[in-house]
Amino acid sequence: MKSKFYLLNLGCPKNLVDSETMAAKLIKAGFSLTTSPAQADLILVNTCGFIDDAKAESIEAILQLSELKKKLVVTGCLAQIEGREIYRDIPEVSAVVGIGAEREIVRICQDLLQEDRRILRVSPLRSDYRGRFLRKPLTPFYTSYLKIADGCDNRCSYCLIPQIRGGLRSIPMGEVVERAKSLVQEGVKEIILVAQDLSSYGLDLYGRPMLAELLRELGRLEGAGWLRLLYLHPAHLNSELIEVIASMERICKYIDLPLQHISDRILKEMNRKMGGREIEDLLALLRASIPGVVLRTTFIVGFPGETEREFEELLEFVWRSKFGRLGCFPYSPQKGTPAARLPGQIPAEVKREREERLLALQVEVSRTVNQKRVGREEIALIEEEISPNTYSGRTQGEAPEIDGGVIIKGEGLKPGDMVRIKITGSSDFDLIAQVINDRSLIGLEPSMGG
């Protein structure tokens, strides 16, 4: 009888790609995946360790699952940076496997089931992508995340990613294209390229950023649908890349651009390499170059030393800029980062209050932005039938699991269909639409743009 494993993925889409790879390796080795942790012989938790809330969520999940008295494996970002502490403090954990040791996941799981022992593997990171494109889909069949690089060289003062994931390590372009081709053949309609810094893709391998060239190659794939980009560092978004995004039909006109703040002083303390004026100029360029573009961003509030005036400057910028999508995080000091040592740490209650004010403002902005889309015709990807002749879906302007969606009236549709819709109404975060022609499904032709 096959040994069963249960896998809980926490954190970002990049973590999800790692979970899909580990699941595929285990299945190939003879394990079977179960959706019930109680029925599993072995439980894996792929943790997030980016901010304190994510760490707390990971620890809570580990403790809850440990009550099942199964073989319990902890991997992912938190395992990489705090693996020894988890191994020491939570004896119910059978194995801690850092990111550098994920390649050993099959052997580690086999050893745990054969022997009554504990395992600690927190290895140095290295560029080893063998088996990285093995995939047990953990997303709906029509959408897939494709990681094209790992690690980051930006060294933002508040961020642990370089310590967790190491420096930029791009996957060779030919391998990425072959993997994308396989996904298209499997019926995937939306390929979402992910990395810590997409816009620097290829710099380590080719001596210059190569995302624009990669997109040109992916745009030539027969039968491909949407290409979505998560995320683009604003300091590395050059004119060539903007032109490719604008000219290629398949690339979603959705730019996720984490800006983090607008105050020149705070941006400098964050080591973001762009000032407020440069950010405003970039936003103007994107809107002029990509008609109808949906801009998404994230901000950090309560960064050390942030004054009320600097926060109000951020509020004014958000109101003025009218972002279609926006996320906000209270600053979370991470041990070992330069920002954690800065004076002027902001009290937690002030950070939460600023987060609430910014998000409340964005509700008003989002309502206005969505209202302006009413009357437009767009293409939508159908995700689910929620009632007879009523479906949930997304346009190019909504990323899965992150943004709102579209409630669509139509007939005879199924998940994965791409249809032309007319937007007929809106709310704070969602849109309402009608299929223009139920029988006319959309197929995108190969794009040679760029």
Residue 35: both structure tokens together: 């959706």
Question: What's this model's pTM, rounded to 2 decimal places?
Answer: 0.92
Higher local confidence (pLDDT), 134 or 281 = 281
Residue 415 resides in a domain: yes
d(CA 178, CA 148): 12
Both 161 and 90 in a single domain? Answer: no
Whose tokens are 């964005």? That residue is 362
**In the predicted structure, residue 440 carries a pLDDT above the cut 50:** no
Contact 146, 193 (CB under 8 A): yes
Number of domains in the chain: 3
Residue 306 resides in a domain: yes
User: What's the pLDDT score for residue 446?
Assistant: 36
Both 238 and 316 in a single domain? Answer: yes
Both 404 and 346 in a single domain? Answer: no
Burial level of 207, CB count in 10 A (0-12/13-18/19+)? exposed
**In the predicted structure, residue 441 carries a pLDDT above the cut 90:** no
Both 200 and 116 in a single domain? Answer: no
Average pLDDT over residues 252-259: 96
Residue 51 resides in a domain: yes
Both 149 and 219 in a single domain? Answer: yes
Who's near 80: CB < 8 A, 6+ residues apart? 49, 98, 99, 100, 122, 164, 165
User: What's the pLDDT score for residue 1?
Assistant: 72
Q: Pick from 353, 369, 385: which residue ends a domain? A: 369
Residue 133 resides in a domain: no
Q: What is the pLDDT of residues 192-201, one digit of tens each?
A: 999 999 999 9
**In the predicted structure, residue 445 carries a pLDDT above the cut 60:** no
Q: What is the pLDDT of residues 46-102, one digit of tens each?
A: 999 888 888 999 999 999 999 999 999 999 999 998 999 999 999 999 999 998 777
Which secondary structure element, helix H or strand E, spans residue 350, and what is its range?
helix 348-373
Both 212 and 169 in a single domain? Answer: yes
CATH of the domain at 412: 2.40.50.140
- The number of beta carbons lying within 10 Å of the beta carbon of residue 267 is 20
Both 205 and 298 in a single domain? Answer: yes
Residue 444: both structure tokens together: 């995108």
Q: What is the pLDDT of residues 156-178, one digit of tens each?
A: 999 999 988 889 999 999 999 99
Both 342 and 429 in a single domain? Answer: no
CATH of the domain at 239: 3.80.30.20
When pLDDT is cut at 50, 70 and 90, the band that residue 131 belongs to is low
When pLDDT is cut at 50, 70 and 90, the band that residue 449 belongs to is very low
Both 269 and 159 in a single domain? Answer: yes
d(CA 426, CA 177): 37
d(CA 447, CA 137): 26
Contact 187, 217 (CB under 8 A): no
Range scoring the smallest mean pLDDT among 123-132, 268-277, 387-396, 405-414? 123-132
Both 34 and 179 in a single domain? Answer: no
- The number of beta carbons lying within 10 Å of the beta carbon of residue 250 is 22
Residue 136 resides in a domain: no
Both 101 and 178 in a single domain? Answer: no
Residue 450 resides in a domain: no
Q: Pick from 369, 396, 413: which residue ends a domain? A: 369
Residue 132 resides in a domain: no
Give CA torsion, residues 174, 295, 297, 430, to 10 deg.
-110
Residue 167 resides in a domain: yes
Both 346 and 411 in a single domain? Answer: no
The range of the structural domain enclosing residue 285 comes to 143-369
Contact 64, 96 (CB under 8 A): no
When pLDDT is cut at 50, 70 and 90, the band that residue 424 belongs to is very high
